[in-house]
A and B are shown apart, each in its own frame.
Chain A
Amino acid sequence: MTDPFTIDLLRNYLLVGAALFALGMLGFIARRNLIVMFLSAEMMLQGVALSLVAFGRYHGNWSGQVFTIVILTVAACEASIAMALVVVLFNRRSSLDVTLWQDVREPGVETTDLADEAGEAAPMEPIEGVESYPHLTPAGVEPAHPIQPWTERRR
């Protein structure tokens, strides 16, 4: 009996895995938020896990799934350590921006002042349109509570 998991099906899985890997790489390169960068790295891991499971299914053994379980373990460890690091880094600079940490670069590499440029080009006031936050009414002074009869009695 031939295996129903043909090489065309394997190729489909590998293509989807490659797309997830490339999208994760795009997010890791292009985004500046530390947390979104780690999310993108997790997305690359998902693409690799998909390819491994498909290869294991094609070859008819459990190795792909065992490897994916190891990937799950390493991803959980990575996420916990990364989140601890993110909390520490946020406490140092009060920001999640990765470009603030350019002083740990290799010697001889130019810095990019993206943070300053962005700060000048787009100040922090809300932008009209899709990207604006709702304006909430400022809460005033707490009004004097009228004394209810039952609270008077209790006093």
Chain B
Amino acid sequence: MTTGSLILATIGILFGATGTYLLLPHRLGAAKTRTIYILGAVFASLGLVGFLALLSPPALSPLGDFIAGSFFYVFAGGAIGCGVMTVTSRNPVYSALWFAAVVVSVAGLFLLADAQFLAAGSVIVYAGAIIVTFLFVIMLAQMEGRAVYDRAARSPGRAVFTSFLLLWSLTYCLASVRGKPDGPPPAGELAGPEARLLRGREIAGFYQLAETNEGRKALEHSLRPTSSLYVEADPSKPKPNVAGLGEALYADHLLTVELAGSILFAALVAAVLIANPKRAGVPPTPAAAVEV
């Protein structure tokens, strides 16, 4: 990551911030002209292109890697663009549908990161359940068309400044972190940024050399064979996704599964209790008594 790409990132994020500010609703709910919308869309897409140019390009030589890298660009651009549309849509129904598009794009990115079960699961849970719940509530609560609070934003200038400053800081940190490697010395010929963020099993391989190291026992406990993505920690032999994930989930994280079930049950009870208009212990009103 060079200085030139940092300048590119700054320019891209500035363009994106300008475009998003132009696309957001006005502070007082005043209407924006079509010219402002087109200008905002142009600025936002320029910013998106600048941000995508910041990503490391895919390798060209094997065709499979190149195709996977191109799909990464497609899904990343789709996720960020649909995210901008989610935030800036005047109509909450459109916001929910754009958010479904964000979820589908992120599921594509999950697929590219070898997380097939999570891709399917997030599409089912988010786009299938949560979005439908949102749409039901929107239809229940908002029957009279577009409201004032949908056409007006709450201090959009300061919000855009804050969040894009956060994005620029994160980009800067991710792009140009320098410093001494914190972990054990890199084994062998590792050089460059790979030496600064050692993979878990390399750290384990280092500590297992030192017999008297106190962290060794903890590392051995936390790096059991069920927790690895590969058979015998060999990257050329990946485990099947659902089987490996289930093994890790029910061997290493059994308590987590139980806790998740308890949380779901508590949320079920809470949702029923909150949404139910009839309170226990409150005497019925006279009108209700007359009706009965």
Q: Tell me the A residues contacting B by CB distance below 8 Å.
A: 1-16, 18-27, 29-33, 35-36, 38-40, 42-43, 46, 49-50, 53-54, 56-63, 65-66, 68-70, 72-81, 83-88, 90-91, 95-99, 112, 114-115, 117-119, 121-122, 124, 127, 129-131, 133
Interface string of B147-166 (1 = CB under 8 A from A): 11111111110111011101
- On whether the beta carbons of B264 and A76 are closer than 8 Å, the reply is yes
Within 8 A of A (CB), among B256-287: 256, 260, 263-264, 266-268, 270-272, 274-275, 277
- On whether the beta carbons of B110 and A53 are closer than 8 Å, the reply is yes
Q: Assess A27 versus B87: contact at CB under 8 Å? Given A36-B95, A80-B267.
A: yes
15 residue pairs A–B, Cβ–Cβ below 8 Å: A12-B76, A15-B171, A20-B80, A23-B80, A29-B155, A29-B159, A30-B24, A32-B154, A33-B149, A35-B141, A54-B113, A74-B263, A80-B268, A81-B270, A118-B152
Q: Assess A16 versus B109: contact at CB under 8 Å? Given A99-B154, A121-B29.
A: yes
Closest CB in chain B relative to A36 CB, distance in Å: 5
Q: Assess A1 versus B31: contact at CB under 8 Å? Given A39-B134, A65-B118.
A: no
- On whether the beta carbons of B149 and A19 are closer than 8 Å, the reply is no
Contact of B274 among A57, A84, A114, A133 (CB under 8 A): A84
- On whether the beta carbons of A77 and B267 are closer than 8 Å, the reply is yes
A-B residue pair count with CB separations less than 8 angstroms: 312
Interface residues on B, range: 35 or more
